Amino acid sequence: MDIKTAIEEEKKKQESLFGGIKERIKGKVAVLYGEPFVGKSIFALNFSKFFKNSTLLLIDRNYIDDYFKINTNLNVLKVNSPKQLEYYLGKEIEVKEDQLLIVDSITSLAPFFITESYVTPRGANAFSNFVDKVMRHLATLKPTTSLVITHERLRSFESKDIVPRINMIALRHADIVMRMWIENEERKIEVVKERKMPSKIDFSFVG
């Protein structure tokens, strides 16, 4: 297989992969979680190329310049505080068809609420209420597709369950919740919760 053919084959593979995921979450509020540096941001940026309009609400400060080359048509709004995120959602985002809105990552705003060297109930509750408010607002922006990125946490040592690092109550506004991890050098995405149609499906891609 020559290089040109290999590139075309990879392009078709990517179109099939991301097209399938788009059909699954289009017009919904989706949450993608996983451990740091597993590839959630790279996935979201590649995914954004399959929408007519895409906006990244950039909270994460780990982005490198090459990330922005993945989709040069992406509208990037840098978020420096919870207030700024609320402003952008309320004033800057218009409801459009075939639009993807990425929030990366919501957990990066936790230090604004949890200011002590240890997590207090007051700080944790304040952050949970903020995330709940954001998720609730994203639900009002449909048919815009929203992709909220967050870290993961171990729910308990007994159950070994890996869950999003946001309050489970806030997830009531999510239509679909997905987890990303790496297995055999492939990033895998598993749907762990879906509103109305509970099911499980895996996607794999190399990136």
Write down the pTM of the prediction: 0.86
pLDDT of residue 56: 97
Q: Give the CATH number for residue 29.
A: 3.40.50.300
Range of the domain at 88: 3-205
Taking only the tens place, the pLDDT of each residue in 23-67 is 999 999 999 999 988 999 999 999 999 999 999 999 998 898 899
The domain total for the chain is: 1
Three-state helix/strand/coil letters over the chain = CCHHHHHHHHHHHHHHHHHHHHHHHCCCEEEEEECCCCCHHHHHHHHHCCCCEEEEEECCCCCCHHHHHCCCCCEEEECCCHHHHHHHHHHHCCCCCCEEEEEECHHHHHHHCCCCCCCCHHHHHHHHHHHHHHHHHHHCCCCCEEEEEEEEEECCCCCCCEEECCCHHHHHHCCEEEEEEEECCEEEEEEEEECCCCCCCEEEECC
Q: For each of the chain's 207 residues, which pLDDT tens digit applies? A: 566 665 566 667 777 788 889 999 999 999 999 998 899 999 999 999 999 999 999 999 889 889 999 999 999 999 999 999 999 999 989 898 899 999 999 999 998 988 765 667 888 889 999 999 999 999 999 999 999 999 887 766 666 677 788 887 888 899 999 999 898 888 889 998 887 654 444 555 444
